[in-house]
């Protein structure tokens, strides 16, 4: 019996081991067959082992795993199940051939089992080849991706370098643009200055500025006259009003207090003076500045005139003069009344506007200077508002005997040309 049972398994040295493993995995037992002692021992041995074992390198679970590709995976699984079913059937026949003992049936059943096992081995080899091919394909794909990643990383580094270079170039261009802007600004200033120099042959020259200075001083004096008259008519205390303007001033004559009001008007009209050059031709076209104000109420001169009126003429002052604030409300609305009082003011505002425009258009520009109270009188920089008495302020040695009480009109310097400041001396 031993000779017959071992002979069929010589075709494959490990067939018995494979069959034993397969029996252990499938936990297959003959149904309705009384096993012999050897077979019973084999079955008992198979029942003591673990349920899951590797069969020909592949784990077999109660449920089939996926071993095929997406294209022919189902066909491969069906084929595997068919072989397993055939192998189980062949194994049953092999067991049945032992009871009763039939050598021929054992040999035939053994061949059938071997054939099915070889079919399983063939599937295993095919699976391994596919896994190897897939691994090789994955490896080549990974190598390709790695090469692409390295290429892209190099390309990224190149892009970073280019971006850095571009940023440096941009910074240089920005700096160059800034320098060009500064150069253009200087050129524009030069062009403006050359244009003003060409105009200096006409209205924009020192002579015109001197005439505007004289006219401005006269216009302030002319506006102070009706202002004082209205204050008298409104029963203002002129002594108290003058004292509120120049508290510590000492006057040689009571009538000289009018210069305090002129000083007040001059301070208000010249406050915020910048001496920036601008065109004064439009203002100079009209003898009466009201005509210019009405023709273009949105002009720079119109805005200047309205702003200075509100600064010079206080609401309480206007209300006491006229009994109302109609002129002020008219100016606040952006218009300009044709009243005699406002016309005199507009004429003064015109000459202050012209003086500043011409002074800023000269080359070199005019520079204003002020004289403080208590300063020593200097006939180089100052002139007294009382010219006929100026000689009284000098001693025999030519040294000043008196000091400045207050400034009525600021002075101006254009290069070497000097326009004296008008001051009141006690």
pLDDT score recorded for residue 104: 85
DSSP track, 294-323: HH-TTSHHHHHHHHHHHHHS-HHHHHHHHS
Q: pLDDT at position 256, please?
A: 93
DSSP-derived letter for residue 368 is: E
- Kindly provide the b/e burial profile for residues 168-191, where b requires at least 16 CB atoms within 10 angstroms of the residue's own CB: eeeeeeeeeeeeeeeeeeeeeeee
How crowded is residue 220: how many other Cβ atoms within 10 Å of its Cβ? 23
Q: What is the pTM of this model?
A: 0.53
* Collapsed DSSP state (helix, strand, coil) of residue 414: strand
User: Could you list the mean pLDDT of each consecutive 10-residue stretch along the chain, which spans 426 residues?
Assistant: 40 48 46 39 37 40 46 75 84 83 85 85 83 79 88 92 92 93 88 60 77 95 95 94 92 92 95 85 89 92 95 94 94 93 96 92 89 91 77 51 89 93 91
Sequence spans of domains, the chain:
75-197, 202-425
Give the pLDDT of residue 194. 64
The pLDDT of residue 9 is 39
Which pLDDT belongs to residue 195? Answer: 63
d(CA 102, CA 207) in angstroms, rounded, equals: 149
Per-residue pLDDT, 193:
67
Residue 87: Cβ within 10 Å count:
22
| Contact predicate 116/87, CB 8 Å | yes
Question: Residue 54: its pLDDT value, please?
Answer: 38
């Amino acid at each position: 019996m031993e000779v017959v049972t071992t002979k069929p398994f010589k075709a494959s040295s490990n067939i018995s081991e494979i069959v034993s493993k397969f029996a252990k995995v499938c936990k297959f037992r003959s149904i309705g067959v009384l096993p012999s002692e050897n077979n019973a021992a084999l079955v008992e041995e198979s029942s003591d082992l673990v349920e899951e074992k590797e069969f020909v390198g592949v784990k077999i679970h109660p449920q089939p795993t996926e071993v095929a590709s997406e294209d022919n995976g189902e066909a491969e699984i069906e084929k595997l199940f068919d072989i397993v079913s055939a192998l189980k059937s062949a194994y049953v026949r092999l067991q049945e051939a032992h009871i009763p003992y039939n050598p021929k049936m054992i040999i035939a059943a053994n061949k059938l089992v071997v054939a099915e096992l070889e079919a399983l081995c063939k599937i295993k080899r095919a699976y391994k080849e596919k896994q190897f091919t897939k691994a090789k394909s994955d490896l080549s794909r990974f190598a390709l991706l790695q090469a692409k990643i390295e290429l892209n990383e190099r390309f990224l580094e190149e892009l970073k370098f280019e971006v850095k270079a571009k940023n440096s170039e941009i910074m240089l261009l920005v700096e160059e643009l800034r320098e060009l802007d500064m150069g253009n600004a200087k050129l524009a200033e030069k062009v403006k200055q050359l244009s003003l120099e060409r105009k200096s042959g006409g209205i924009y020259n020192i002579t015109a500025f001197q005439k505007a200075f004289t006219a401005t001083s006269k216009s302030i004096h002319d506006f102070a006259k009706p202002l004082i008259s209205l204050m008298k008519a409104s029963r203002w205390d002129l002594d108290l009003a003058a004292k509120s303007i120049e508290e510590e001033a000492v006057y040689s004559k009571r009538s000289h207090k009018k210069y305090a009001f002129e000083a007040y008007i001059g301070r208000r009209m010249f406050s915020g003076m910048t001496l920036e050059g601008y065109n004064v031709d439009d203002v100079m076209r009209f003898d009466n500045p009201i005509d210019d104000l009405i023709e273009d109420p949105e002009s720079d001169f119109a805005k200047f005139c309205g702003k200075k009126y509100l600064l010079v003429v206080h609401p309480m002052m206007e209300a006491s003069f006229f009994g109302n604030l109609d002129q002020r409300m008219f100016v606040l609305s952006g218009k300009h009344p044709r009243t005699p009082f406002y016309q005199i003011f507009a004429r003064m505002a015109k000459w202050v506007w012209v003086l500043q425009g011409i002074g800023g258009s000269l080359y070199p520009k005019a520079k204003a200077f002020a004289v403080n109270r208590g300063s020593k009188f200097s006939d180089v920089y100052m002139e007294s508002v009382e010219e006929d008495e100026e000689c009284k302020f000098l001693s025999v040695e030519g040294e000043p005997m008196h000091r400045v009480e207050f400034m009525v009109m600021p002075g101006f310097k254009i290069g070497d040309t000097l326009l004296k400041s008008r001051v009141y001396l006690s």
